[in-house]
Structure 1
Amino acid sequence: MNLSDYQNEFDNLISKQSYSAVSQPSRKDTFSKFLDSGLPTRKWENWRHTDLSFLNKNNFRITEPGDASGGSIDVSNYEIANTFTVIIINGHYLTINSDLPKELTVSTNSNGENWTPKNKKDTPFELLNASLSDSTITITTEPNASIQKPIHILFLCTGNDDLMINPQVNIDISHSSSATIIEQYVSNTSSFFQNTSVFASIEKNASLNHVRIHSNSDQTANISGLHVTQSDDSTYNYFQLVDGGALQRSDIYTDLKGKNATCYLSGLALLDKKQHSATYIISDHIMPNCVSSQNFKSVLNGSASGVFNGRTIVREDSQKTDSKQSNKNLLLSDQALMNSNPQLEIYADDVKCAHGSTTGALDKEALFYMQSRGINKKEATSLLIRGFVSELINDIKNEDVKDYLFEKFDNWLLNNNQ
């Protein structure tokens, strides 16, 4: 698609009667900014390792409410035990699997009426999302609520058309509340472009455990922006698993705006063939006595490629900050490629900050030792890879979610350790 194609899709969208005069001016202004910026190219510093030709060579149609049909994907393959499951098909709400507790509200808007999409950073894809989004899901907890079962938002892309999907997710965790939210993205063999924006607000003394799973087909591009704002004494635990998709990119922004806030970000990319996954992070320490960490790993096979660019900003008033960054990557083939760039930007003097990055192949000495003890090479390789990734998955607090993630890892390993 070129910019004129996006213009045509935008014109078709706002011509619908369901889009009120309230949202149209904002959408038009936002889309004008998108046209001015254009899509990123490799000349842009934050995009120089990511090839967007997949988007350029496909003509995508914006999804409509009528596209929310059952499709050809068996939902049971992606069920996680003991969760509230919200099913979104082709960007539009379909159903929820059970009644929700009174302390939890899940609301949807599937046709854009009287609703203006959010936009925070004016990046090209966020501008595109705010211009074209015609559906949103909002999850809200009441104050002092403890939501025991995770909320599983299952985004399914299915059908024969090449679709562009621009959902927004709003998460509001009220003060002294806690919840676990899982986003999962799944697609069949058709070409899809998922462009998602997620906005999370964690109020005072509240906590959110947030898991993202990207399991799309090799004909899917998924670009997502995540914006998290934390208040005093709040806790945010984030984990992402990427085990599918032609192109996947996560832009993560965390603003620690409250004192004593804690933010743990982690992720695992399991890539093969020509898959590409990129993670860009900005953790902004605005107030003192906050803790943050970034712990990301990749296992790359075939001609897969990955990017990790993690940046931590420690503002002048953010004394007593404790921040760590770690990026470790395992290359299973000579053709695999990883670009890693952890960064610290420190303006305060009373802080503890550290970062590190390593990329390499399996330890040959460890393989030799295990084989000398009667373990065949295939099993030894599996044990070493499992040891490499287990630390991250074991940190997941919910046992059902943890089991599901290990199952996905085992399936990937089975296909990539022949």
Structure 2
Amino acid sequence: MDRDDAHDPIHQIRKKAFSKFLKTGFPTQKWEDWRFTDLSHLEKQSYQTSNGLDDPLTTTDRSAYKMEGVETIVIHNGHYQKALSSHHNGIRVLTDPKHINERSDQIKMTADDPFDLLNTAFMDSCLSLIIDRNINLTTPVRILVISSGIDPIMVSPRVYVDMNESSSATLIEHYLGDATSTFQNSSLFFSIAENSHLDHIRIQSNPVSAHHV
């Protein structure tokens, strides 16, 4: 996705979200829900946004993170890597900007969550994973999110999982990488229709230098 395309309807949503974030700021320990969490380090560190042209095969060794018996959708530095991904016919993976624009009303800004506002403003890619009606996926689907690079980086993938009526699936979020410093600010949304079922698993294999929200 082109963050600078002023003609894209998403661009106005980005601007609105960032303006709202500037007013809200990061949570502080004065906020009731964050009183035990110190996030001041995020304001002290400078992060660059990711580059969609990065090649994960030359920057990160994924061999230690192979997982048998799963279909894998790869996101590197926030950007969907179609050539490295595999998924069966039961899932539709949509990235077309036209589809994203049609779903722009689902880029929620009703809650003043600063991290969701920041993700909306800087989203690197926006995927829709759609499981059709009456589809029961027996093979788990893994979203493999890789962060790499020598400079501190902020990555902001945004994923919608739409499960239609009477469907079922297992979804694994797997985060890993060797970036010097990462601010991992992902947003994941679920729409689960009647009689559908989803098992959701999250695995964090990032180094201690990563900040994952």
Please confirm whether the aligned pair reaches a TM-score higher than 0.5, indicating the same fold.
yes
Corresponding letter in the other structure for 2:197: S
Partner residue in 2 for 1:81? 68
User: Superposed, which structure 2 residues align to 1:80-119 within 5 Å?
Assistant: 80-94=67-81, 95-98=83-86, 100-101=88-89, 103-108=90-95, 114=101, 116=104, 118-119=107-108
Name the SS of the counterpart of 1:39 in structure 2.
Answer: coil
Partner residue in 1 for 2:34? 47
Q: Does 1:146 align with 2:116?
A: no
- Structure showing the higher strand proportion among its residues: 1
CA distance in 2 between partners of 1:153 and 1:128 (Å): 21
Corresponding letter in the other structure for 2:73: V
Q: 1:64 to 1:32 in 2, by over 3 A?
A: same
CA distance in 2 between partners of 1:109 and 1:42 (Å): 40
Corresponding letter in the other structure for 1:139: L
Q: Any conservation in 2 of the 1:20–1:114 contact (CA below 8 Å)? A: no
Q: Tell me the CA shift for residue 53 of structure 1.
A: 2.7
Q: Does 1:169 align with 2:162?
A: no
Q: 1:180 to 1:99 in 2, by over 3 A?
A: closer
- Deviation track 1:108-149 (CA, whole Å, cap 9, x = no partner) reads 369xx8574712522111111111113012111110111110
CA distance in 2 between partners of 1:166 and 1:48 (Å): 25
Name the SS of the counterpart of 2:199 in structure 1.
Answer: strand
Partner residue in 1 for 2:14? 27
Q: Any conservation in 1 of the 2:154–2:182 contact (CA below 8 Å)? A: yes
Q: Tell me the CA shift for residue 106 of structure 1.
A: 1.8
Q: Tell me the CA shift for residue 98 of structure 1.
A: 3.7
CA distance in 2 between partners of 1:49 and 1:68 (Å): 38
CA distance in 1 between partners of 2:61 and 2:181 (Å): 18
Partner residue in 1 for 2:204? 214
- Deviation track 1:304-355 (CA, whole Å, cap 9, x = no partner) reads xxxxxxxxxxxxxxxxxxxxxxxxxxxxxxxxxxxxxxxxxxxxxxxxxxxx
Q: Any conservation in 2 of the 1:166–1:196 contact (CA below 8 Å)? A: yes
Name the SS of the counterpart of 2:146 in structure 1.
Answer: strand
Structure of greater Rg = 1
TM-score if structure 1 supplies the norm length? 0.47
- 5+ residue gaps, structure 1, are 1-12, 224-418
Q: Tell me the CA shift for residue 214 of structure 1.
A: 1.3
- 5+ residue gaps, structure 2, are none
Q: Which structure would you say has the larger RCO, counting Cα contacts within 8 Å and 6 or more residues apart?
A: 2
CA distance in 2 between partners of 1:85 and 1:178 (Å): 17
Number of equivalences: 207
Partner residue in 1 for 2:59? 72
- Deviation track 1:65-94 (CA, whole Å, cap 9, x = no partner) reads 123432432212112211101111111112
TM-score if structure 2 supplies the norm length? 0.88
Partner residue in 1 for 2:45? 58
State, as a whole percentage, how many aligned pairs show the same letter: 37
Name the SS of the counterpart of 2:60 in structure 1.
Answer: coil
Name the SS of the counterpart of 2:9 in structure 1.
Answer: coil
1:188 corresponds to which of 178, 184, 191? 178
1:134 corresponds to which of 121, 124, 129? 124
CA RMSD of aligned residues (A): 2.2
Q: Tell me the CA shift for residue 35 of structure 1.
A: 0.9
CA distance in 2 between partners of 1:33 and 1:140 (Å): 30
User: Superposed, which structure 2 residues align to 1:239-254 within 5 Å?
Assistant: none
User: Superposed, which structure 2 residues align to 1:19-418 within 5 Å?
Assistant: 19-94=6-81, 95-98=83-86, 100-101=88-89, 103-108=90-95, 114=101, 116=104, 118-120=107-109, 121-223=111-213
Q: Any conservation in 1 of the 2:155–2:184 contact (CA below 8 Å)? A: yes
CA distance in 2 between partners of 1:161 and 1:92 (Å): 17
Q: Any conservation in 1 of the 2:73–2:86 contact (CA below 8 Å)? A: no
